[in-house]
Amino acid sequence: MKDLTLKTTIMSKANTSRLLLSLALCLIGAPSQAQAQTNTSQPTLTFVVGYAPGGTTDIIARIVAKELTLQTGQTVIVENKAGANSNIGAEYVANGPTNGTRFYIGSTANAINKSLYKKLNYDIEKDLSAVALLGTVPNMLVINPALPIQNVEQYIAYARANPGKLTCASSGAGSAIHMSCELFKIQTNTNILHVPYKGSSLALNDLLGGQVSSIFDNMPSVLQQVRAGKLRALGVTTATRSSFAPDIPTLAESGLPDFSVQAWFGLFAPSATDPTLLKRVNANVTQALATETTKTSYASAGIALPPTTNTVDTFTAFVGQEVKKWSAVVRQSGTETQ
């Protein structure tokens, strides 16, 4: 596995930390007068999030839902159906109505889950239709500052000199955060002990307390702790430096030229939904993402907007690429579940 090179994209599993929950409430705020003047003749749309409120997936869902309501006059609400590494929410939408009233906010976790779980009650490519990419979030490798490590090169050297001593926390076995660590281990040929938790907030608490060494997580989840000196950032996992933390180098700059990792979030509908309807929703989402309100909300949360070309076809192709790439990581890391 030493010479294995994989370029890929990942999302850290949405966490439920108080910081993000507070941020979500600030960004969403109270319903405005424009929101109150909705078209009651149209059915309410539901965005289903497969995680608890407060995580990055939830924040993105609420920002887009609010702006869609303002732009179209049609009420859009967010429903949280957490559990099973987001599979409960995905299955709920996949088996739901196909009249364009219920959508799923998916992520890299769902692309990973297709190969991670031998038995799923839905298929992200067959039972769900990709509608639009909603945004991406940089990931960050952070450690407890008590460790005698200042950069990625020292982190790798320490791991090689002390096999199994460094620990990498995650929000659960097989989660996107876990798979980020597995990809790192594959590309660096290191032995880092994975420590799973029942959620990112629990993992971060133990990282702050020194019970674990490191974590790969959504940058918005850890940046405040880094700025406060409570955690040390070694690098961001995107191909280029993040505008939200331009002083922190990329892992690519730090000796891993083929490591390109970021979280992505997108809108999905049941596969039997009318393609014409999907294109109309895509156009409405594109319009909502282009407003100054959305741009400001995204920037405040550390979320990057999707590329300008964001069609049903381009997002469908992107999801297919993600499924293929992550199946290789699951196979190489041996994390497939029973």
pLDDT one-digit tens code per residue, 308-327:
899 999 999 999 999 998 89
Pick 34 or 231 by higher pLDDT.
Answer: 231
Kindly state the tokens that stand for 196: 């799973």
Q: How far apart are CA 246 and CA 111, in angstroms?
A: 29
Kindly state the tokens that stand for 46: 């539901």
Taking residues 18-40, what's their average pLDDT?
46
User: Do 88 and 131 fall within a single domain?
Assistant: yes
pLDDT value of residue 39: 57
pLDDT digits (tens, 9 = 90+) for 127-164: 999 999 999 988 899 999 999 999 999 999 999 999 99
Domain that holds residue 217: 138-236
How many separate domains does the chain show?
2
Taking residues 258-283, what's their average pLDDT?
94
pLDDT value of residue 179: 85
Indicate whether 38 pLDDT > 70: no
Q: How far apart are CA 179 and CA 164, in angstroms?
A: 17
* Average pLDDT score, the chain: 86
Q: Which residue stretches of 38-175 are H helix?
A: 56-72, 87-94, 108-116, 152-161
User: Do 182 and 230 fall within a single domain?
Assistant: yes
Sheet strands (E) in 146-294: 167-170, 193-196, 214-218, 232-236, 262-270
User: Do 144 and 132 fall within a single domain?
Assistant: no
Q: Is residue 247 part of a domain?
A: no
pLDDT value of residue 170: 86
Q: How far apart are CA 116 and CA 326, in angstroms?
A: 9
CATH number reported for the structural domain that contains residue 23 in this entry: 3.40.190.150
User: Do 187 and 87 fall within a single domain?
Assistant: no
Question: What percent of the chain lies above the pLDDT cut of 90?
Answer: 61
Q: Which residue stretches of 120-175 are H helix?
A: 152-161
Indicate whether 300 pLDDT > 90: no
pLDDT value of residue 10: 42
Q: Is residue 300 part of a domain?
A: yes
User: Do 229 and 81 fall within a single domain?
Assistant: no
Q: Is residue 118 part of a domain?
A: yes
Q: What is the CB neighbour count within 10 angstroms for residue 25?
A: 14
Indicate whether 265 pLDDT > 50: yes
pLDDT value of residue 18: 45
Find, among 61, 136, 67, 73, the residue nearest to 103 by Cα: 61
Pick 143 or 43 by higher pLDDT.
Answer: 143
Pick 276 or 27 by higher pLDDT.
Answer: 276
User: Do 312 and 212 fall within a single domain?
Assistant: no
Q: Is residue 251 part of a domain?
A: no
Kindly state the tokens that stand for 290: 């282009």
pLDDT digits (tens, 9 = 90+) for 53-97: 877 889 999 999 999 999 999 999 999 998 888 999 999 999 999
pLDDT value of residue 218: 82
CATH number reported for the structural domain that contains residue 181 in this entry: 3.40.190.10
Taking residues 10-17, what's their average pLDDT?
41
Find, among 319, 335, 331, 336, the residue nearest to 118 by Cα: 336
pLDDT value of residue 3: 43
User: Do 65 and 118 fall within a single domain?
Assistant: yes
Indicate whether 1 pLDDT > 70: no
Task: Identify the residue whose tokens are 């199946």.
Answer: 327
pLDDT value of residue 12: 41
Q: Is residue 269 part of a domain?
A: yes
Kindly state the tokens that stand for 305: 């907007």
pLDDT value of residue 208: 96
Pick 28 or 165 by higher pLDDT.
Answer: 165
Report whether 49 contacts 76 (CB < 8 A): no
pLDDT value of residue 102: 98
